[in-house]
Amino acid sequence: MGIALFRVDERLIHGQVTVAWGNELSLDRYLVVDDRLPQEDFERELFGLGVPSDASAEFVSVEDARGLLPRWTASEESAVLLTRDLDHMVRLARGGALAGLSVNLGGIHHRPGRDRVLPYLFLDSDDRQRIRALEAEGVTVTAQDLPGARATPGRKLVDD
């Protein structure tokens, strides 16, 4: 099984991920890659409340995740790997670590300077640059909020 889904979603662990994607992919683990959360006990506990009782969650930094990727991808458990932003995913993908894999953009929300690309996806020029960087690392990027929704190719997200 390994990692069934690589996803960028600002909300990390929440209902859309645990119910929609979790049921579709029969997820056993939620792997959160974030440089701040491993040191934030209270926030980890809050996110942990959203994890189904038959699954587990792990919170690791980008550096640690890069070392754990081979073990995670070879695991018999089905997992989703989540980052809260494109920056974390790009740093994880550097050096071809995610080459040949797909990254799903599922929830990057509005803030000043971001333009609406899809109802659940708002991007600024830095975000578009990071999508291009992922593609340059050999990663296929798509946007898809729910399993049954049509995926939008990354190229359509960055073409101006």
Q: Is the pLDDT reported for residue 160 higher than 60?
A: no
Distance of CA 55 to the CA centre of its chain: 17
* Separation CA 160–CA 158 (nearest Å): 6
DSSP 151: P
The pLDDT tens digits for 11-48 are 999 988 999 999 999 999 999 999 999 999 999 999 98
Number of domains the chain is built from: 1
Return the pLDDT at 69: 96
Which single residue is written with the structure tokens 């071809």? Answer: 96
Return the pLDDT at 83: 98
The pLDDT tens digits for 45-87 are 999 889 999 999 999 999 999 999 999 999 999 999 999 999 9
Confidence of residue 159 (pLDDT cuts 50, 70, 90): confident
Q: Is the pLDDT reported for residue 138 higher than 90?
A: yes
Q: Count how many residues are written for the chain.
A: 160
* Separation CA 84–CA 88 (nearest Å): 7
| CATH number, domain with residue 88 | 3.40.35.10
* Separation CA 98–CA 3 (nearest Å): 11
Look at residues 126, 103, 101 and name the one whose alpha carbon lies nearest to residue 113. Answer: 126
Residue 141 structural domain: 2-158
Alpha helices in 33-151 (DSSP H): 41-48, 62-74, 86-93, 125-136
